[in-house]
Amino acid sequence: MDNNKLIERSKCSGCEACKDICPSKAIRMERDDDGFYFPVIQEDICINCGACTKVCPVGKENTFRKVDYNDTLAFGGYNTNVEELRNSSSGGFFGSLAKYVTDNGGVVFGVVYQDNFRRVVYAASDEVSIDEMRGSKYVSAEKNGVYLKAKAQLMTGRLVLFVGLPCEIAALYAVLKKGYDNLITCELICAGPASYNVHDAQLDWLENKYKKTTSYYTYRSKKYGWVPLCLKAKNGKHIYDVVYEKTLFGIGFPYAKRLSCFNCWFKDSRRLADFTIGDFWRVNRGEKYYNEEGTSVVFARTKKAEEIINKLDSFKKVKVPEETALRGNYTQLKTASEIPQKREEYLRVLSSQGANLKAYDSFKPKMSLKTKIKKSLPPAVYRFLRRFDNGRY
């Protein structure tokens, strides 16, 4: 089968369902010049069975799975374990759900860093700790045959939690071809992961500056609390903990997305997971479910999810109206997003300038004076002043 039989590159999410399903192992993922991975069929091994084109979830309506609530059953809340909440990106819903699964003898599939943070890969909680899974890694994970690994666990009857981006959840169901009673799926609200070129450039920049390899790295440090977002790294004795928009990665994040993500197929009623989770952006600070260390928005989309969320002892939650839950993430959940005008220009600068932070000055987001002042305050002052501001995030 030739490569033209796969869905065109501008629509391919890189979900790897085709790679997983191929009976001859004829598909490998190749990184392109912009740092995105695409499937490539090795024609000398391919037996032309068509399994790869059949499994691809893009452009197809799902026929075997229906969710019970399309975003109408929504909650705001946070993990009551303070340590877990601090180490998670949002309100730590993932940690509460993962605990429920492991306490019941189940296995969790999530993503972790590898090779000094250069790679992001899927792994099972039998091999890595739940702690390593915590935190958003804003590049697409290598799947490593995860869909078939999850299937093997499901066939044993064990409880399985699979966490991923909406395209990865759709890929899992496409490979499984059916739902399982012992499967819980949880998708992240998704603005699209960034290219590995900008992730690498950020790590290169840190290592050039401090002349040490990176020993700690997170895109969601809670230096100021949940917001503003900060990127934290440790290189030798040096600690870098800087407001997102000032970092090389933060400047590039809006531009360095793969084309398919601007017009993501897996939105609204095409989202298939039991749970959809994210940051409860635009929450009112006075709400009972608000926590300044992070607040999760959770959509329970199936009866199974509804039952489970009521059993999570460590997740303090309040049911909220659909429009309240949607307002901070409407585009990510419901509609296509605009391709930034300077995307092509940005990608050209990224591939020629790499870790040269100065080269990205013209791509920096415009901030109001008020925001600039707020973001330059010492963290303790910022946190103190926030107590008197009861507005919306």
Ligand X SMILES: Cc1cc2nc3c(=O)[nH]c(=O)nc-3n(C[C@H](O)[C@H](O)[C@H](O)COP(=O)(O)OP(=O)(O)OC[C@H]3O[C@@H](n4cnc5c(N)ncnc54)[C@H](O)[C@@H]3O)c2cc1C
CB of 16 to ligand SF4, least distance (A): 5
Alpha carbons within 13 angstroms on the beta-carbon side of residue 26 total 19
Q: Which is nearer to ligand X, 111 or 308 (CB)?
A: 111
193 binds ligand SF4 (CB under 6 A): yes
272 binds ligand X (CB under 6 A): no
226 binds ligand SF4 (CB under 6 A): no
**What DSSP assignment string belongs to 205-217?**
HHHHHHSS-EEEE
User: Could you give the dihedral angle defined by the CA atoms of residues 233, 238, 241 and 247, in that order, rounded to the nearest 10 degrees?
Assistant: -70
Residue 49 touches which member of ligand SF4, ligand X, none, C-beta under 5-8 Å by kind: none
333 binds ligand SF4 (CB under 6 A): no
Write down the residue that tokens 């298939």 correspond to.
272
> Collapsing DSSP states into helix, strand and coil, what is residue 39?
strand
167 binds ligand SF4 (CB under 6 A): yes
Cα(267)–Cα(125) distance, integer angstroms:
28
Site for ligand X in 228-267 (CB under 6 A): none
191 binds ligand X (CB under 6 A): yes
- Contact between residue 110 and residue 133 where contact means Cβ atoms under 8 Å apart: yes
Q: Which is nearer to ligand SF4, 71 or 84 (CB)?
A: 71
- Contact between residue 25 and residue 47 where contact means Cβ atoms under 8 Å apart: no
347 binds ligand SF4 (CB under 6 A): no
256 binds ligand SF4 (CB under 6 A): no
Answer for which of 296, 363, 374, 375 binds ligand X (CB under 6 A) is 296
Token representation of residue 155: 């066939």
Residue 39 touches which member of ligand SF4, ligand X, none, C-beta under 5-8 Å by kind: ligand SF4
Site for ligand X in 38-57 (CB under 6 A): none
Site for ligand X in 157-176 (CB under 6 A): 163-165
Answer for which of 109, 173, 219, 266 binds ligand SF4 (CB under 6 A) is 266
Q: Which is nearer to ligand SF4, 242 or 259 (CB)?
A: 259
Strand partners, 31: 37
Cα(23)–Cα(350) distance, integer angstroms:
37
190 binds ligand SF4 (CB under 6 A): yes
| Residue 310 neighbours by CB under 8 Å, 6+ apart | none
Residue 15 touches which member of ligand SF4, ligand X, none, C-beta under 5-8 Å by kind: ligand SF4
Long-range (24+ apart) CB contacts under 8 A made by 238-243 are 238/209, 238/210, 238/212, 240/206, 240/210, 243/375
CA distances from 161 to 109, 155, 200, 274, 296 (A): 6, 14, 30, 10, 18
Return the DSSP state at 388. T
- Contact between residue 376 and residue 246 where contact means Cβ atoms under 8 Å apart: no
Q: Which is nearer to ligand SF4, 5 or 304 (CB)?
A: 5
The binding site for ligand X (CB under 6 A) comprises: 88-95, 110-111, 120, 133-138, 141, 163-165, 188-191, 193, 277-279, 281, 296, 329, 332
The binding site for ligand SF4 (CB under 6 A) comprises: 6-7, 12-18, 39, 56, 58, 165-167, 190, 192-193, 260-261, 264, 266
